[in-house]
Amino acid sequence: MKLKPKAPTTGHVDGAWWPRSRDLSTELPALLAVLAIRLGRVGRVSYNLTTWNPADRRLNIDGHRVRLGGFHAQHPHAIDVIGPTGTRLTLLVLPPETDPATAHHILMTAAGRDNVDSIDELLAPTAVTAPVPADRDLPDDPAVQRWEVDGGLVPQRT
């Protein structure tokens, strides 16, 4: 997970999260523990019903209950996390199967203080996911490889 710095921030999301599975009951405790530093004790999480596995309406985390609200209208790649004073964080949710280089790029972009991209723009295909011609080899220079991963072309996993 990567969050934008505290205010002033702009944009559609407050950061991004890359869970390991689509099981909210398993994934949320660690996320909410980290977010409690900024929000306080989280009271509610809203999510898209079709993106996640079925979940209970309430989750007991560290002795307190968190209400889970699943909605069809919620963006399929976002969750809203709401603290005790009503403070809300909207997180872009990357699919668990996202390629690590792509995930890193999107996490860093979404968490940029001045980033104003929509969720769909953040998830749009980028040069990071473009296929590389078979005859193209990546250079041995680590700096060039970092550039390739952050915005150039990288080979697709097979």
- pLDDT tens digits, one per residue of 95-104: 999 999 999 9
Domain that residue 118 falls in: 2-122
CA dihedral 44, 34, 17, 144 (to 10 degrees): 170
Alpha carbons 114 and 89: distance in angstroms, whole number: 16
Question: For position 62, what pLDDT does the model report?
Answer: 83
* Each residue's pLDDT tens digit, 60-119: 988 899 999 999 999 999 999 999 999 999 999 999 999 999 999 999 999 998 899 999
Same domain, yes or no: 41 and 27 = yes
Same domain, yes or no: 106 and 69 = yes
Over residues 137-146, the mean pLDDT reads: 47
Same domain, yes or no: 65 and 83 = yes
Same domain, yes or no: 63 and 26 = yes
Same domain, yes or no: 105 and 134 = no
Number of domains present in the structure of the chain: 2
Same domain, yes or no: 22 and 67 = yes
Alpha carbons 80 and 34: distance in angstroms, whole number: 15
Same domain, yes or no: 83 and 19 = yes
Cβ–Cβ under 8 Å, residues 12 and 87: no
Same domain, yes or no: 90 and 135 = no
Same domain, yes or no: 45 and 77 = yes
Same domain, yes or no: 53 and 131 = no
Q: What CA–CA distances, in Å, run from 144 to 19, 102, 128, 140, 152? A: 29, 17, 14, 8, 9
